[in-house]
Amino acid sequence: MASEIIETTPDSEIVTTRELNFPINLAFNAWSDPGHLKNWWGPKGFTNTFNTFDFRPGGKWNFIMHGPDKGNYANECEFIKIEAPNLIAWKRHSQPLFQVLVTFETVVENRTKVVFKMLFDSAEACNKLKPFVVDKNEENIDRLETELAKMTLKK
């Protein structure tokens, strides 16, 4: 049984919001299809090796992020909640511990607001990562936009 999304306060969240010039179903697909997700997940310069991607509540997502500095970063996650095409949530079982909640909302036709939240148990845990990840999350969403443009061209 998948766990619940934790309750947080603004001081224990890192939030990245972006309006994308793409339809909601395409944006959701870029997050839910490992064939697309592996192409853009992570900050600039990172690549991914997905070992497990079982996209359902309770399903596991195990992958290795390969940094441009030659570092390899193992990630073990479990999907908590999925409501296509509006919500994806997962929990990290590897350090640092946090949950991710991504929501998708149609602003107007072919324009989607994506809200990417990292949820922490405490403000202290959040503040340890905040100086490092705010800019990296923006890079991640930049890479998402590039992947969405490629997906549009393939249609």
Interval 97-123: pLDDT, tens: 999 999 999 999 999 999 999 999 999
pLDDT at residue 70, rounded to an integer: 85
124: Cβ contacts below 8 Å, ≥ 6 apart:
none
Mean pLDDT for 9-23 is 97
Measured CA to CA in angstroms, residue 50 lies from 45, 62, 100, 114, 134 at distances of 17, 6, 18, 23, 24
Class of 10-44+79-154 in CATH: alpha beta
Mean pLDDT for 88-96 is 96
Interval 119-150: pLDDT, tens: 999 999 999 999 999 999 999 999 999 999 99
Q: Where are the alpha helices (DSSP H) in the chain?
A: 24-32, 34-40, 123-154
At residue 3, what are phi and psi to the nearest 5 degrees? Answer: -80, 175
* Domain locations along the chain: 10-44+79-154
Interval 54-76: pLDDT, tens: 999 999 999 999 999 889 999 99
